[in-house]
Amino acid sequence: MTSGSAARPAARERAARRAAALARAVEDGLLGPRSPVVGLLDVDGVLAAVDALNEAFQGPAPVRHAFAAKACGLVPVLRLLAEAGMSCEVASPGELEQALAAGFTYDRLVFDSPAKTVEELEFALAHGIAINLDNFQELARVDRLLAGRPAAGPIGLRVNPQVGAGAIGAMSTATATSKFGVALRDPGAVDAVIDAFVRRPWLDRLHAHVGSQGCPLPLMAQGIRVAYELAERINDRLGHARITGIDIGGGLPVNFDSDDDRPTYADYVAELRAAVPGLFDGRYTLITEFGRSLLAKSGTVATVVEYTKTAGGRPIAVTHAGAQAATRTVFMPDAWPLRIEVLDAGGRPKQGPTEIVDIAGPCCFAGDLTATGRELPVIEPGDVVALHDTGAYYFSSHFSYNSLPRPAVHGYRTGADGRVRFALVRQAQTVREVVEESGLAQAGALVALRAD
């Protein structure tokens, strides 16, 4: 899969910036023998995605766009998004602390997790952080923690509309047996949700999320419609607008076949307006939680080819980017295929004869392949392989197989003169740091225990 010649202007510009950044990364030594794998993030591409998101949702309804921190939990990336006006959705204590370190204030946070502890709930309630509760036991826990006090921030209940799965079951959160939220089609569930709102004046939001990659827009809109209709029913029952916000989650799929953004945020909003027109009339504040779609297209993982070989007549290029950096692609290649580009040792797109080749990573298991049976220019040791569309999850969800260190990540911008400027986002992890992380300070603990 390579970039299509019919790519839209914005996609062509992004591809041009990426090409310039790859060449400059090699020239500057950010990618080379001493740093054989690196992550590169296009800052202008990220900001353009934020602009497109804001533009698509313009209208009477107030909207709060919260970036899903799980997609790239790197503080400089979160700071960039905070400065661009985003809020932040967090789903763990680590993501919460990353968001705070990046400069998000408490009122710009949304805390989601199906397993919040008492301590985590106490912190969120004390600081007015918006919370989406997952189940009736968690509702009861918050009852005890509030002890009759009003909530300092918005509190919502996540519901599962049970509208079905998309193409990737693991990414579909509105299935009949999903672990998330209150399953609305289960016997008595809707009445129980309505009763929960009747008895709790502090409950003022509904949250629904159908899934992400692999979920078609009509399915996503169908799930949001279920949540909207439930909000309408609850408000009618109470005789006033108790529910003032609907969190519609994120999940816009990413096109991994070309440089184009497809579908777009505008496509999704058009689908929502057709399926749930009342959602946009201004009576509800909308909260979104997009992640992958904001960053994926702006990221590239680039790696040096260390060796080339053949096995059974199949050429294989051995690189330094495998399961540790592209975990989902390696373990679920059909669901998460990546576009592969081959560059020469100078970082320039390689031309000439092609061959069918596998692209292998450095991990010690046979399935560590980022691409299988791809037609690509003939690859030689010292060439560069670029894995496109890896700005979300690939930089911050490192898999520590074989104790491989996390690579450096650099952001970049390309000036009008074509010159690329880099900014370090995360330093490369050293081997010493890997050893320290593996318990070096406690090296003698088990021997001492045995001696005792």
The pTM (predicted TM-score) of the whole model is 0.95
- Quick one: pLDDT at residue 417? 87
Confidence of residue 3 (pLDDT cuts 50, 70, 90): very low
Q: Are 226 and 272 in contact (CB under 8 A)?
A: no
Q: Averaged over 249-266, what is the pLDDT?
A: 96
92 shares a domain with 26 = no
312 shares a domain with 205 = no
- Quick one: pLDDT at residue 342? 98
Q: Are 155 and 130 in contact (CB under 8 A)?
A: yes
Q: Averaged over 314-318, what is the pLDDT?
A: 98
250 shares a domain with 123 = yes
pLDDT for 152 beyond 90:
yes
Amino acid at 449: L
78 shares a domain with 216 = yes
Confidence of residue 6 (pLDDT cuts 50, 70, 90): low
Looking at the 3D structure of the chain, how many domains does it have?
2
Amino acid at 334: D
181 shares a domain with 256 = yes
Cis? peptide before 76, omega within 30° of 0: no
Q: Rounded to the nearest 5°, which phi and psi values hold at 157?
A: -120, 130
Q: How far apart are CA 258 and CA 256, in angstroms?
A: 6
pLDDT for 80 beyond 60:
yes
211 shares a domain with 111 = yes
Confidence of residue 315 (pLDDT cuts 50, 70, 90): very high
Using one digit for the tens of pLDDT, what is the confidence trace for 180-233? 999 999 999 999 999 999 999 999 999 999 999 999 999 999 999 999 999 999
- Quick one: pLDDT at residue 68? 98
Q: Are 123 and 132 in contact (CB under 8 A)?
A: no
pLDDT for 266 beyond 70:
yes
Q: Is the residue at 448 inside a domain?
A: no
25 shares a domain with 75 = no
Using one digit for the tens of pLDDT, what is the confidence trace for 21-71? 999 999 999 999 999 999 999 999 999 999 999 999 999 999 999 999 999
117 shares a domain with 191 = yes
Using one digit for the tens of pLDDT, what is the confidence trace for 272-286? 999 999 999 999 999
pLDDT for 238 beyond 70:
yes
Give the pair of three-digit tokens for residue 78.
Answer: 């979160």
Q: Is the residue at 55 inside a domain?
A: no
Q: Rounded to the nearest 5°, which phi and psi values hold at 186?
A: -70, 145
Q: Is 123 exposed, middle or buried (0-12, 13-18, 19+ CB in 10 A)?
A: middle
Confidence of residue 452 (pLDDT cuts 50, 70, 90): confident
Q: Is the residue at 1 inside a domain?
A: no
Of 290, 320, 349, the domain-final residue: 290
Of 255, 290, 325, the domain-final residue: 290
pLDDT for 2 beyond 70:
no
Using one digit for the tens of pLDDT, what is the confidence trace for 91-149? 999 999 999 999 999 999 999 999 999 999 999 999 999 999 999 999 999 999 999 99
Q: Is the residue at 49 inside a domain?
A: no
Q: Is the residue at 449 inside a domain?
A: no
283 shares a domain with 304 = no
- Quick one: pLDDT at residue 108? 98
Q: How far apart are CA 292 and CA 168, in angstroms?
A: 15
Three-state secondary structure of the chain: CCCCCCCCHHHHHHHHHHHHHHHHHHHHCCCECCECEEEEEEHHHHHHHHHHHHHHCCCCCCEEEEEEHHHCCCHHHHHHHHHCCCEEEECCHHHHHHHHHHCCCHHHEEEECCCCCHHHHHHHHHHCCEEEECCHHHHHHHHHHHCCCCCCCCEEEEEECCCCCCCCHHHECCCCCCCCCEECCCCCHHHHHHHHHHHCCCCCEEECCCECCCCCHHHHHHHHHHHHHHHHHHHHHHCCCCCCEEEEECCCCCCCCCCCCCCCHHHHHHHHHHHCHHHHCCCCEEEECCCHHHHHHHEEEEEEEEEEEEECCEEEEEECCCCCCCHHHHHCCCCCCCCEEEECCCCCECCCCEEEEEEECCCCCCCCEEEEEEEEECCCCCCEEEEECCCCCCCCCCCCHHHCCCCEEEEEEECCCCCEEEEEEECCCCHHHHHHHCCHHHCCHHHHHHHC
Domain of residue 111, CATH code? 3.20.20.10
Give the pair of three-digit tokens for residue 234.
Answer: 């609850």
* Own/partner long-range contacts of 354-360 (Cβ < 8 Å, ≥24 apart): 354/378, 355/315, 356/314, 356/315, 357/314, 357/315, 357/316, 357/317, 358/314, 358/315, 358/316, 358/317, 359/316, 359/317, 359/319, 359/385, 360/316, 360/317, 360/318, 360/319, 360/322
Q: Are 64 and 289 in contact (CB under 8 A)?
A: no
- Quick one: pLDDT at residue 345? 97
311 shares a domain with 253 = no
> Domain of 20?
9-42+298-437
Q: How far apart are CA 169 and CA 179, in angstroms?
A: 12
Average pLDDT score over the chain: 96
Query: Residue 335 half-sphere exposure, CB side, CA atoms within 13 Å?
Result: 17
Q: Is the residue at 229 inside a domain?
A: yes
Q: How far apart are CA 110 and CA 120, in angstroms?
A: 13
Of 234, 267, 290, the domain-final residue: 290
Q: How far apart are CA 394 and CA 399, in angstroms?
A: 10
114 shares a domain with 196 = yes
Q: How far apart are CA 189 and CA 158, in angstroms?
A: 12
Q: Is the residue at 266 inside a domain?
A: yes
355 shares a domain with 306 = yes
Confidence of residue 7 (pLDDT cuts 50, 70, 90): low
Q: Averaged over 166-187, what is the pLDDT?
A: 94
Q: Averaged over 391-407, what is the pLDDT?
A: 97
Three-state secondary structure of 18-36: HHHHHHHHHHHCCCECCEC
Q: Is the residue at 410 inside a domain?
A: yes
- Quick one: pLDDT at residue 4? 40
Provide the pairing of β-strand 245-249 with 340-343.
unpaired
Phi-psi region of 313 (alpha: psi -120 to 50; beta: other; left: phi over 0): left
Domain of residue 308, CATH code? 2.40.37.10
